[in-house]
Amino acid sequence: MLRIGLTGGIGSGKSTVSGLLVERGAVLVDADRIAREVLEPGTPGLAAVVAEFGDGVLSADGSLDRAALAAIVFSDESARRRLDALVHPLVRQRSVELVAAAPDDAVLVNDVPLLVETGQAGSYDLVVVVAAERETRVARLVGRGLAEADARARIAAQATDEQRRAVADVVLDNSGTPEQLAEQVDRFWAERVEPARG
């Protein structure tokens, strides 16, 4: 198995890259998706979050009110750390299970937005960082419907591209067009993935 850790700041283009890698046959383990699953109604994760932050983070139907929780944790670092301390161990545990279930010869891509922040770079054969200028990312996130202030608050809660580059084996530059990003993914697959698979 070849384990690739894929990371980048919010709006950098990780999902675009992971989609291209899956088209080539990679198996994806997506931390954002797992983080949603471990907070679904009826889970111990959601119960723990409600015990910590109160009923105000629940919607009328009993599911997590993601916007309400986001408003709390992206304006208060200590609240964000408390949320991370509850959710990240659950995400890691589920990720380990999904990796164990993948075929032995898989090219495994872990999309982990907070890979650098959580000190996980050493857990992968290759760390791939998707990088794009902060203002480009803000513009793309606003284009996707996030309020500009909320985009900036999330960027402020994350590592910088410089910190990510410091642990990267490969940096994909997503300041250009989607086609230019796809060309870099093709080159990465041909030069780093295929040879490693033998």
Ligand X SMILES: CC(C)(COP(=O)(O)OP(=O)(O)OC[C@H]1O[C@@H](n2cnc3c(N)ncnc32)[C@H](O)[C@@H]1O)[C@@H](O)C(=O)NCCC(=O)NCCS
Does 14 interact with ligand ATP (rule: CB under 6 A)? Answer: yes
3 binds, among ligand X, ligand ATP, none (CB under 5 to 8 A by kind): none
Among 4, 20, 69, 90, binds ligand X (CB under 6 A): 69
CB 88: neighbour CB atoms within 10 A?
16
Lookup: tokens for 1: 């198995």
Residue given tokens 């950098």 in the structure block: 12
What does residue 95 show for φ and ψ, rounded to 5 degrees?
-60, -45
Q: How far apart are the first and last CA of the chain?
A: 11
Q: Considering beta carbons, is residue 61 or 179 the nearer one to ligand ATP?
A: 179
- Which helix (H) or strand (E) is 141 found in, with range? helix 134-143
Does 178 interact with ligand ATP (rule: CB under 6 A)? Answer: yes
Nearest to 157 by CA among 34, 70, 64: 70
54 binds, among ligand ATP, ligand X, none (CB under 5 to 8 A by kind): none
CA gap 30, 18 in Å, rounded: 9
Site string for ligand ATP, 97-136 (x = CB under 6 A): ----------------x-----------------------
Q: Considering beta carbons, is residue 75 or 180 the nearer one to ligand ATP?
A: 180
Q: Considering beta carbons, is residue 119 or 176 the nearer one to ligand ATP?
A: 176
Q: Considering beta carbons, is residue 107 or 131 the nearer one to ligand ATP?
A: 131
Q: Are 109 and 26 in contact (CB under 8 A)?
A: yes
**78 marked ligand binding residue:** no
- Gyration radius from the chain CA atoms: 17
Residues of the shown chain interacting with ligand X in the complex, contacts defined by CB under 6 A: 10, 31-32, 35, 39, 66, 69-70, 73, 80, 83-84, 87, 91, 113-114, 154, 157-158
Binding residues for ATP: 11-16
